[in-house]
Amino acid sequence: MNTPDNTSKTSSVPVEKSDAQWREELTPEEYRVLRQAGTERPYTGEYWDTHTEGVYQCRACGSQLFTSREKFDSHCGWPSFWAPLAEGTVRYLHDRTMGMDRVEVRCANCDSHLGHVFEGEGYGTPTDQRFCINSISLRLVNPDEG
């Protein structure tokens, strides 16, 4: 017997919290972006122009997602990376909202929205991919400061 797949809304991720818990733990703006797939305004985020060395963690769960080594200047107004820290740290979802066909990037650990990934834009990076991530979805941790 085949069970129809109607579970697309319930994803199985290591960190699962109720909506009320997320609302309590995150600021309203963090909640809007991370849990409601919002987008911060370009050139307003904390990290779009940051060159500090370190590891970018998920703002919601602390999972390590990106590093400064893969960050590059895309001049798009959001932090841009050409690859995640490792395969499996992020997950991808097809996003056809807003009349666009995009690939959404989420934290693989807590399923929070991070941004989108674009391909083939001609940036001179090793992958020709651009992970366009909201600053507010990230927290930069400097390894020297622990």
Q: Catalytic residue numbers? A: 132
- Contacts with Zn ion by CB under 5 A: the residue count is 8
Q: Which is nearer to Zn ion, 107 or 132 (by Cβ)?
A: 107
CB of 137 to Zn ion, least distance (A): 8
Q: Does 63 bind Zn ion (CB under 5 A)?
A: yes
User: In 3D, which of 140, 116, 146, 142 has the Cα closest to residue 59?
Assistant: 140
Q: Which is nearer to Zn ion, 33 or 107 (by Cβ)?
A: 107
User: In 3D, which of 136, 146, 135 has the Cα closest to residue 71?
Assistant: 135
CB of 102 to Zn ion, least distance (A): 20
The contact mask relative to Zn ion for 29-58 (x = CB under 5 A, - = no) is -----------------------------x
Site for Zn ion in 79-118 (CB under 5 A): 107, 109-110, 112
Binding segment for Zn ion (CB under 5 A), chosen from 62-70, 74-82, 91-99, 131-139, is: 62-70
Q: Which is nearer to Zn ion, 54 or 123 (by Cβ)?
A: 54
Give the 3-state secondary structure of the chain: CCCCCCCCCCCCCCCCCCHHHHHHHCCHHHHHHHCCCCCCCCCCCCCCCCCCCCEEEECCCCCEEEEHHHEECCCCCCCEECCCCCCCCEEEEEECHHHCCEEEEEECCCCCEEEEEEECCCCCCCCCEEEEECHHHEEEECHHHC
Residues that bind Zn ion (CB under 5 A): 58, 60-61, 63, 107, 109-110, 112
